[in-house]
Amino acid sequence: MKVSILGCYSATPRTITNPTAQVLEINNQMYLIDCGEGTQVQLRKHKIKFSRINHIFISHLHGDHFFGLIGLISTFSLLNRPNDLHVYGPKGIKDIILLQIKLSKSYTKYNLHFHELEATQSELIFEDDKIAVYTLPLKHRVYANGFLFKEKPGLRRINFEEAKKYPIEVCYFNKLKQGFNLTQKNGDVIKNEWVTFDPLPTQSYAFCSDTIYNEELIPLIENTDVLYHESTFLEKDIEKCIPTGHSTAKQAASIAKQANVKHLILGHYSTRYADIQLFKQEAEAVFTPVLLADDGLVFKF
C-alpha cells in the first residue's frame, strides 16, 4: 500500500504548498482522493500516470478539495482518454462539473460517471474483487465524508517446494490458490494446506479530512492500518475548531488511539504555522507512530 501526498495544506494554494489531494495505491489499483487546485500539475510533477486513475473520491465541496477536478477531467479528454471515469462526491458535484463542461463546450470523449452521496451513515459506495470503499461521515461546515478503503483477502499462494512432492499439474494451481483440495486419480486427496501458504495480509486506509473532533468515527475505523486525519490547528488555537469545522493534532491523535489504528498521518495544516513539526510533537504526546504529510511525500506500508 502506497500513499502519495500531492497536497495537504488548508485553504488557498501557495507557491510552496498545495491544497488537499492524494493518491492511494493498494493491490495494484490507484485511487485519487480529493482534487484541490493544481492537482494535475502535481500528478505530472510526481510522474503518476493519468491513465491509471479511474476512480476519484471527493470529500466535500469546499474549493481546496475539488477546484482541480474540472481541469483534470478536461485534460483527460485532451489526452484522448479511453477509460470510463467514476467520480464519487456530495450531491451537487454532477451539476457543478457538467455546467462547466457545457458552458465551455469541453465535452468528454470518454464516459464520465457521477456517484452522488447524501447519506449520513456509513455506506458501501464502491466494490470490486480487490477492494471495498465505505464513506466515513464527517462533521464539517458543509456535508462531508471521509473514505475507508478495505482490501479484500487475496488468493492463497503456492508453496512450490511442497507442491513438487505431489503429482500436481500446473493447470490445477489456480484451484489450489482458490483454496480447493485436489483429488488424485487413485482417490488420494492432496490437502490445500499441504501445498499452499495463506494469502498475504489485507490492508486498510482511512481518509478523514475536514471534521471537528468526532468520536462517532472510532467504531468505523477501528484497527485500520493507516489513518489520515486532518490537523488544521494546534492546541493553542483550539477555540477555532468548532466555528471552522476542524480538529487539532492532539484531537486527531486521540481518535487514532481510541480506534487502535497502526499508523497516523497528519495533514490539512493551517498555513498560519511556520513549522509543521509542532503538529507531530503535540500528537505524539497521545499516540505513536505519527507521520507528517507534506507535499510530494510518499508513504509505503
What amino acid positions are annotated as catalytic residues?
Answer: 64
**Which residues neighbour 128 within 8 Å (Cβ) at sequence distance 6 or greater?**
none
Q: Can you state the angle between helices 277-284 and 249-259, rounded to 10 degrees? A: 40
**Cis (ω within 30 of 0) for the bond into 289?**
yes
The Cα–Cα gap between 101 and 43 comes to 22
Other CB atoms within a 10 A radius of the CB of residue 45 amount to 13
The Cα–Cα gap between 282 and 262 comes to 18
Cell numbers found for residue 288: 505513536
Cell numbers found for residue 297: 511525500
Cell numbers found for residue 12: 488557498
